[in-house]
């Protein structure tokens, strides 16, 4: 088991990180992972001593296949609801497509917008990588889940390669905007969480990008 912060678990071996958050009487997931990843998520939940049905909500950071490919299967196995930003909803539901991305469409139950709070997470709209990309701020923990805004390698943060973002300059603006928020831990979708010095790592990235 990998508990990176109190009540925040990182599912082992997912190509795109899936985080499991412990709430008073249920669990919440951030993203579902690539196709087939549902078995890793379900196995992790069972390893926590919980039932799959304890997963009540999956919050999607964006609609790329490595984040939503397992979403339909995970929802089917748990009954969890799905939450996503309104600008990402048509991609998740299959009414619009992202370049080179295919996944089984899933209905969005809870449509989110900037500033909404869901399960203790404040929604930060960070367009650029995709139109409806979001970061999720847990103000109590001082932790921010940043999706694909940036990735971690050897303790540093790096911009997602620009060819993978629909609007690379918009993604850079969103990276810089995070510095307006208060946090100390950064939990990316690719790479390891940066605990305790996440803000410093993000400040360093902004300096290197000269934005």
Dist CA 74 CA 167 (whole Å): 30
Q: What is the pLDDT of residues 99-132, one digit of tens each?
A: 666 778 999 999 999 999 999 999 999 999 999 9
Instruction: Please tell me the pTM assigned to this model.
Output: 0.96
**Which helix H or strand E contains 56, and what residues bound it?**
strand 55-59
Q: What is the DSSP letter of 166?
A: S
Superfamily of domain 3-209: Ribonuclease Z/Hydroxyacylglutathione hydrolase-like (3.60.15.10)
- Whether residue 188 contacts residue 152, with contact meaning beta carbons closer than 8 Å, is answered with yes
Q: What is the pLDDT of residues 69-102, one digit of tens each?
A: 999 999 999 999 999 999 999 999 988 877 666 7
What is the number of alpha carbons within 13 Å of residue 37 lying toward its C-beta? 24
Dist CA 42 CA 45 (whole Å): 5
């Amino acid at each position: 088991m990998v508990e990176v912060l109190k009540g925040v678990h990182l599912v082992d071996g997912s190509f795109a990180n899936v985080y499991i958050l412990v709430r008073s009487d249920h669990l919440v997931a951030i993203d579902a992972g690539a196709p087939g990843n549902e078995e890793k998520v379900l196995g992790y939940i069972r390893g926590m001593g919980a039932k799959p049905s304890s997963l009540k909500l999956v919050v999607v950071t964006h609609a790329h296949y490595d984040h939503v490919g397992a979403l339909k299967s995970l929802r089917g196995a748990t009954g969890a609801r799905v939450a996503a930003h309104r600008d990402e909803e048509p991609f998740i539901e299959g009414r619009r497509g992202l370049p080179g991305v295919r996944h089984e469409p899933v209905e969005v139950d809870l449509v989110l917008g900037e500033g909404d709070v869901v399960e203790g997470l404040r929604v930060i709209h960070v367009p650029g990588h995709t139109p409806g990309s979001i970061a999720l701020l847990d103000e109590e923990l001082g932790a921010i889940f940043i999706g694909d805004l940036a990735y971690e390698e050897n303790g540093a943060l790096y911009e997602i390669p620009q060819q993978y973002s629909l609007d690379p300059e918009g993604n850079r603006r969103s990276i810089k905007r995070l510095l307006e928020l208060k946090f100390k831990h950064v939990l990316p979708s690719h790479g390891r969480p940066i605990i305790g010095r996440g803000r410093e790592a993000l400040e360093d990235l902004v300096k290197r990008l000269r934005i």
